[in-house]
Structure 1
Amino acid sequence: MSAAVKDVQRSVFLDLIRSHPEMTLAELSKLSKGQFSGLLSSVTVGEVISAGHEFEGDAEVAVPSAEPGAAAAPEDVNTRTAVGRREYDARVLEFIRESEDAVSATEIRNKVGGTSLQVRKSVARLIEAEKVTWQGKARGTRYSAL
């Protein structure tokens, strides 16, 4: 394989890691086994930490305004700390309790914010704490409060 192709693969791999800041080190270490092992072994923590710094000073990208009546964009959530996870879980639980019917992960994400992974991990913690139950499978999974 040529050096140019390897450089492109490495760049795409770094972009993938950077686009999922909620990924834990344990999840990242799982990538070290299998087809990504060569790529992961060449990535440094510094490269991941410096994500986006090369773009500092660039002009801001204009974001089109939402149509009237459209839902506001969900805010970013911090689940990197125990306090952040507790606060996020409380907001997810509050939304589930206030809903008349069982809700999907997409509905939770659209209303409460966060990524798909953050929603899944939050409802898993709530299920384990016996505060939430689920029905269905895959995209048909719906959550309701106990």
Structure 2
Amino acid sequence: MKRQSIHRYTCNGCIKITIFEDLASSNIEIKHHLHPKKADTSISPEIKQFILDNIDLLPYEIYKRLVEQGLDINIRQKQVHFWWSEIGKKRYKRDNDSFSSAQKWLKEKSYHIIFQKDNLKAFGFLTNFWNILKNSQFKVSEIGVDATCKYH
């Protein structure tokens, strides 16, 4: 299992070691600057439910509606965005591996995968947009889309 990296801070701390010539004594001085606290993302179950009920909106629109309805004036947009992302994952995430997750979701939604390269972690698939273009007056010679997603 791959270990997740942790966020490192540039704290400008330093270590100063002085070794005296007689080697009988030494002095070690450490200075460390406190790191900023991790942002508080906690919110009430009611706010989480409101976000879930409005999950198809963008986070700033959800926040605006929360403010308009007078729900918890202490909530911040970053909190709404965090929980919108977390709650929204449940709609799409099918596996911890993003490549496998995308494949499972596409299969579940009956999308047609037209090629797959597991060693490159790449695949192509068709959507209804292809049928619309194929049946239109336009002559389509090539369509390319590149999308990446990283789960945190």
Shorter-chain TM-score tier:
under 0.3
Write 1 or 2 for the structure with the bigger share of helix: 1
TM-score, structure 2 length as denominator?
0.23
Q: Relative contact order: is structure 1 or structure 2 higher (C-alpha 8 Å, sep ≥ 6)? A: 1
Larger Rg: 2
TM-score, structure 1 length as denominator?
0.24
Write 1 or 2 for the structure with the bigger share of strand: 2
